[in-house]
């Protein structure tokens, strides 16, 4: 049943070469006007519902405690769309990616629903799909094996009869991403940071993945390389992939994404459409998203006081209560539900 990842070499090569050949590299962010509400009719390729994640920890080797890092988290990713995930450090972005890929540490306890292509994504299915239908472009380039030649890492394990074909494809992709022919024989330590990122992107492209999760692929890149990197994701989405782009860079996310999910302390506070950020962010639904908008350089970096609650700071109300400018007394009790509003989602009692 799960042999969709099976490759028909000739057909596959033709379509994938087309994917990497001569695409327009601009990132104007022009998109069809699909909004979350309209898209509801289409089935999500990835559906995460009410996900919770905790780690079992032992203090002084005696007492066992549960550290909850993700709670009641729901997101959907659609074919042909880029979903950006933004949020402060420690809000659970990478852990969500690791949960989808099935690469969490053994002391992690995962609850809730993850569905891929309409079926539950069990640990077994995650392992089968990883690096094939579902690809991760990891946050740290140290994920590359330091002792393996680049070409072998990008191509991965393939049957002998497909090796020649994959090699040809890898060379086309490297050319497309300005990686010189000698890069394929190099070891990771010989690459610059930018080259290593392009190698990681190539790994996702060659795998013909349908769901691509890129974890912070752009930090420290100059403007050109940033736009170039973003254009790779745009290409992937244009070819029908569902792309999840995890980033701190909201401006970059706004250039290419369709939807922006805002994470805070391990949950989603808002899923906005990119259009909602226009007109001074007037259509944004949550005070935190508005605060993020105000903190952008063009909006004079107006930050808000306070910090995201730590995992062990128990809150009995809205998770954003302490920092909220719109809070009411009732917000200090009970967690607001994630609800649909104006073609997006919001977790706020006062949003209407
Ligand atoms: N193995 C672990 N054991 C205990 N806590 C963990 C573990 N891995 C991550 N955490 C905690 O879970 C929280 C979420 O981590 P995560 O890496 O998902 O954050 P993030 O949103 O990706 O942050 P960043 O933007 O810095 O990459 C953090 O507070 C982190 O300290
Ligand atoms: Ni992270």
The share of the chain scoring above pLDDT 70, in percent, equals: 88
Beta strands per DSSP E along 25-129? 46-59, 63-77, 82-86, 108-116, 119-120
The average confidence (pLDDT) of the chain is 85
| pLDDT reported for residue 34 | 44
221 located within any domain: yes
Distance between CA atoms of residues 324 and 65, nearest Å: 30
- Given this model, what pLDDT does residue 124 score? 97
Structure tokens, 57: 């920890």
Lowest mean pLDDT: which of 204-208, 285-289, 333-337?
204-208
Q: Express each pLDDT in 174-184 by its tens digit.
A: 998 889 999 99
**Backbone phi and psi for residue 80, each to the nearest 5 degrees, phi listed first:** 80, 5
Q: Which residues pair with 137 in a beta bridge?
A: 214
pLDDT of residue 193: 82
Residue 74 phi, psi (nearest 5): -130, 130
Instruction: Write the pLDDT tens digit of every residue in 115-168.
Output: 999 999 999 999 999 888 999 988 777 778 889 999 988 887 777 788 888 899
Mean pLDDT of 33-44: 53
Q: What is the mean pLDDT of residues 301-319?
A: 83
Q: What are phi and psi of 97, to 5 degrees?
A: -60, -45
Closest C-alpha residue for ligand 1 atom 4: 55
Domain membership flag for residue 169: no
Provide the pLDDT for residue 37.
43
- Say how far apart CA 82 and CA 22 lie, in whole Å: 21
Residue 215: its pLDDT value, please?
93
Alpha-carbon gap, residue 137 to 141, rounded angstroms = 9
Find the 92 Cα to ligand 2 centroid distance in Å: 7
Model confidence at 51: pLDDT above 60? yes
Taking a C-beta distance cutoff of 8 angstroms, is the pair 154, 131 a contact?
no
**Is residue 6 assigned to a domain?**
no
Which structure tokens are listed for 332?
């200090």
pLDDT tens-place string over residues 55-101: 998 877 678 888 999 999 999 999 999 999 999 899 999 999 999 99
Residue owning tokens 């805002």: 262
* DSSP 8-class letter at 130: B
Residue 181 belongs to a domain: no
- Is the per-residue pLDDT at 28 higher than 80? no
Phi and psi at residue 226, to the nearest 5°: -60, -50
Residue 315: pLDDT above 90?
Answer: no
Q: In what order do the strands lie in the sheet with 82-86?
A: 134-137, 211-215, 242-246, 82-86, 259-264, 267-273, 344-346, 339-341
Confidence at residue 232, expressed as pLDDT on a 0 to 100 scale = 84
Q: How far is CA 139 from the centre of its chain?
A: 10
Closest ligand 1 atom to Cα of 248: 25
Answer yes or no: is 300 within a domain.
Answer: yes
Residues of the domain holding 306: 42-55+66-132+208-344
- Residue 206: is its pLDDT beyond 90? no
Probe residue for ligand 1, chosen from 53, 65, 69 as the CB with the greatest number of ligand atoms within 8 Å: 69
332 compared with 301, residue with greater pLDDT: 332
pLDDT exceeds cutoff 70 at 239 = yes
186 near 149, Cβ under 8 Å?
yes
Atom of ligand 1 nearest to the CA of 97: 18
Per-residue tokens: 77: 């990713």
Q: How many domains does the chain have?
A: 1
258 by Cβ neighbours in 10 Å (0-12 / 13-18 / 19+) ranks as: buried
Strand, helix or coil for residue 28 = coil
Angstrom distance (rounded) from CA 183 to CA 330: 59
Rounded to the nearest angstrom, the distance between the alpha carbon of 217 and the centre of ligand 2 is 11
Residue 328's CATH number:
3.40.50.300
Q: What is the pLDDT of residue 224?
A: 82
Given a cut of 80, whether residue 6 has pLDDT beyond it is no
Centre of ligand 2 to C-alpha 295, Å, is 20
Residue 303 lies in a domain: yes
**pTM over cut 0.95:** no
Q: Could you tell me the maximum CA-CA distance found in the chain, to the nearest angstrom?
A: 67
- Summarised one tens digit per residue, pLDDT across range 245-297 is 999 889 999 999 999 999 999 999 999 999 999 988 889 999 999 999 988 88
Is 57 buried (19+), middle (13-18) or exposed (0-12) by CB count in 10 A?
exposed
pLDDT of 25 strictly over 70: no
Q: What is the mean pLDDT of residues 25-50?
A: 60
DSSP H or E stretch at residue 262: strand 259-264
Instruction: Report the alpha-carbon angle 210-80-69, nearest 5.
Output: 70
Lowest mean pLDDT segment, chosen from 213-227, 313-327, 331-345: 213-227
- Tell whether 138 is covered by a domain: no
Closest CA to 273 of 285, 265, 291: 285
Question: Would 150 be classed as within a structural domain?
Answer: no
Minimal-distance CA residue to ligand 1 atom 5: 55
Residues linked to residue 63 through DSSP beta bridges, in sequence order:
59
Task: Give the mean model confidence (pLDDT) for residues 40-62.
Answer: 84
Does residue 138 line the site of ligand 1, with CB under 6 A? no
pLDDT number for residue 11: 60
């Amino acid at each position: 049943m799960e042999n969709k990842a099976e490759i028909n070499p000739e057909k596959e090569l033709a379509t994938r070469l087309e994917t990497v050949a001569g695409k327009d590299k601009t990132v104007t962010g022009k998109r069809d006007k699909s909004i979350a509400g309209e898209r509801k009719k289409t089935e999500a390729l990835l559906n995460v519902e009410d996900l919770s994640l905790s780690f079992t920890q032992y203090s002084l080797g005696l007492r066992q405690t549960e550290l909850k890092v993700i709670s009641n988290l729901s997101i959907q990713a659609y074919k042909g769309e880029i979903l950006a995930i933004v949020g402060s450090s420690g809000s659970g972005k990478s852990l969500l990616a690791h949960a989808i890929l099935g690469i969490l540490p053994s002391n992690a306890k995962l609850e809730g629903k993850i569905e891929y292509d309409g079926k539950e994504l069990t640990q077994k299915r995650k392992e089968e799909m990883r690096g094939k239908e579902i690809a991760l472009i990891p946050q740290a380039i140290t994920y590359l094996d330091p002792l393996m030649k680049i070409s072998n890492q990008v191509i991965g394990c393939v049957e002998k009869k497909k090796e020649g074909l994959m090699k040809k494809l890898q060379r086309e992709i490297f050319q497309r991403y300005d990686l010189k022919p000698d890069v394929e024989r190099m070891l990771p330590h010989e690459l610059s940071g930018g080259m290593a990122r392009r190698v990681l992107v190539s790994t996702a492209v060659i795998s013909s993945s349908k769901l691509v999760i890129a974890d912070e692929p752009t930090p420290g890149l100059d403007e050109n390389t940033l736009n170039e990197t973003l254009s790779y994701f745009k290409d992937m989405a244009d070819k029908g992939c569902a792309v999840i782009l995890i980033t701190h860079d909201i401006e970059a996310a706004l250039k290419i994404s369709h939807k922006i999910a805002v994470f805070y302390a391990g949950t989603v506070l808002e899923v906005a459409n990119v259009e909602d950020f226009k007109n001074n962010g007037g259509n944004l639904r949550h005070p935190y998203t508005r605060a993020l908008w105000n903190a952008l350089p063009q909006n004079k970096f107006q930050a808000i006081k306070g910090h995201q609650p730590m995992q062990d700071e128990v809150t009995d109300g809205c998770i954003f209560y302490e920092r909220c400018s719109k809070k009411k007394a009732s917000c200090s009790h009970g967690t607001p539900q994630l609800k649909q509003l104006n073609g997006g989602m919001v977790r706020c009692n006062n949003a209407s």
